[in-house]
Structure 1
Amino acid sequence: MLKPTINDFISLLPTNPQVLDLGCGPEHESMRLNQAGAKVIGIDFSEKCIDIARQRCPQCKFEVNDFRFLDDIYGKFEGVFACASLVHINPEELGDVLSNIQKVLVDGGYVAIVIVEGEGINEKFSILEVEGKKLNRTFYLYTRNYLREEAEKAGLEYVREGYLDEKLKRDGWRNYLFKSGWRNEK
């Protein structure tokens, strides 16, 4: 379902781009990004997810890291793919996380942010079942305008809404594309 979303994102980047999969989980999108031609580093705070990712997709690099504290330890990237990861960041931390994303992008690099449109917390998406266990996690909703304002404060320019499958869109998901370095171009 996300392959066309990834292809749309990759089309903005140079050939064989360096891409950071932010909050990669057990590698599903990392593998697809790699198949689309990207050199991928995936980060996630979950050691278990990173262990699974390393086993499933050895052609990508995976590291345990809390992206709330992202820095340039992995270098700079032409793209950052943040699919359903920023939904776990509270509004008080969102601006800092977006600033950190901007800092790891090359000038003119792109970020795809896949979120659920809205305001507040969504209880429906907060419960996740993994291996028969129900996990409760906070799932924040953001409007395009709020995300755009926070991103622009961080030095990321809104480009457009990216491709997303119609079923995901009916469920409230959105894909927003931003570009770094725009302040340096003006």
Structure 2
Amino acid sequence: MVNEIKLFYDLTAEKTADQWYKEEMLKPTILDFVSLLPARARILDLGCGPGHESMRIAQTGADVVGVDFSEECIRIARARCPQCSFEVMDFRDLDDRYGRFDGVFASGSLPHLAPEEFGAVLKKIGSILTGPGHAAIIVVDGAGISDKFSCLEVNGRKLNRTFYLYSKELVIKKAREAGLTFVREGYLDSVLAGYGWRNYILKNAGGEHYRRGK
């Protein structure tokens, strides 16, 4: 199943880049998230795709590393966004090989994980965050697997990129078990919210909370 999800992102990488490098729908979301972090924060874009949001994060003055398991996405990201660093990585294998981060931005990537994997990856995120570090976890509200987001057709070929729905209650529960605490819901454009997308801001349990520039 993982190979089929990877194939989906390999095949759609160029089209995604063409659409999203010029689409600024997530820019306010990024600005809201970065406001919680120190100036010139070091941020990991987890499941970065072809680097479109990595680019916008970097525009805030942050030092950005993007990781994705799609080699095609990373190839495009390196070409289109040379100001960021990009590495091929399955984020289920996340560790500190690229150092630690003030923030982790995970937009639409973690829903590909089953609940047991979701919790394990949240724990890994906590392990690479600095003491007061924050994470933005963007998922679709609900329970079970989404047929709408899972079964898609690419070039006449049907692919299953299994997409799990996550309620606020389950995200908070999994976060608490992973040593992270829920801060608040982050900003999302009303169009995305209308499709059920939610943005949950988490931080290291007990980590000092301070604002950008303090």
In structure 2, C-alpha distance between the alignment counterparts of 1:15 and 1:150, rounded to whole Å: 29
Q: Is 2:161 the counterpart of 1:145?
A: no
Q: Is 2:135 the counterpart of 1:135?
A: no
Residue in structure 2 matched with residue 126 of structure 1 by the alignment? 150
What is the TM-score normalised by the length of structure 2? 0.83
Residue in structure 2 matched with residue 99 of structure 1 by the alignment? 123
SS in 2 for 1:140: coil
Residue in structure 1 matched with residue 55 of structure 2 by the alignment? 31
Alpha-carbon displacement from aligned partner over 1:66-109 (angstroms, at most 9, x marks no partner): 10110000100000000000010111211110000000000110
Residue in structure 1 matched with residue 9 of structure 2 by the alignment? none
Structure 2: runs of 5+ lacking an equivalent: 1-24, 210-214
Q: Is 2:8 the counterpart of 1:8?
A: no
Q: Quick check: which one's strand share is greater?
A: 1
Relative to structure 1, the CA distance from residue 44 to residue 159 in structure 2 (aligned partners, 3 Å threshold; closer, same or farther) is same
Q: Which moved more, 1:176-185 or 1:68-77?
A: 176-185
CA drift of 1:183 comes to 6.9
Q: Which moved more, 1:83-92 or 1:120-129?
A: 120-129
Aligned with 1:110 (options 125, 134, 138): 134
CA drift of 1:135 comes to 3.0
Aligned with 1:60 (options 84, 90, 103): 84
CA contact (8 A) 1:155 1:182 kept: no
* Percent sequence identity over aligned pairs: 60
In structure 1, C-alpha distance between the alignment counterparts of 2:55 and 2:152, rounded to whole Å: 22
SS in 1 for 2:61: coil
Alpha-carbon displacement from aligned partner over 1:112-149 (angstroms, at most 9, x marks no partner): 00000000000101134556654320000010111101
Residue in structure 1 matched with residue 113 of structure 2 by the alignment? 89
SS in 2 for 1:142: coil
| Aligned amino acid, residue 63 of structure 1 | E
In structure 1, C-alpha distance between the alignment counterparts of 2:43 and 2:117, rounded to whole Å: 23
Residue in structure 1 matched with residue 183 of structure 2 by the alignment? 159
Residue in structure 1 matched with residue 93 of structure 2 by the alignment? 69
Aligned-residue Cα RMSD (Å) equals 1.6
Relative to structure 1, the CA distance from residue 134 to residue 34 in structure 2 (aligned partners, 3 Å threshold; closer, same or farther) is farther
SS in 2 for 1:32: helix
What is the TM-score normalised by the length of structure 1? 0.95
In structure 1, C-alpha distance between the alignment counterparts of 2:118 and 2:153, rounded to whole Å: 25
| Aligned amino acid, residue 169 of structure 1 | A
Relative to structure 1, the CA distance from residue 168 to residue 108 in structure 2 (aligned partners, 3 Å threshold; closer, same or farther) is same
In structure 2, C-alpha distance between the alignment counterparts of 1:158 and 1:95, rounded to whole Å: 14
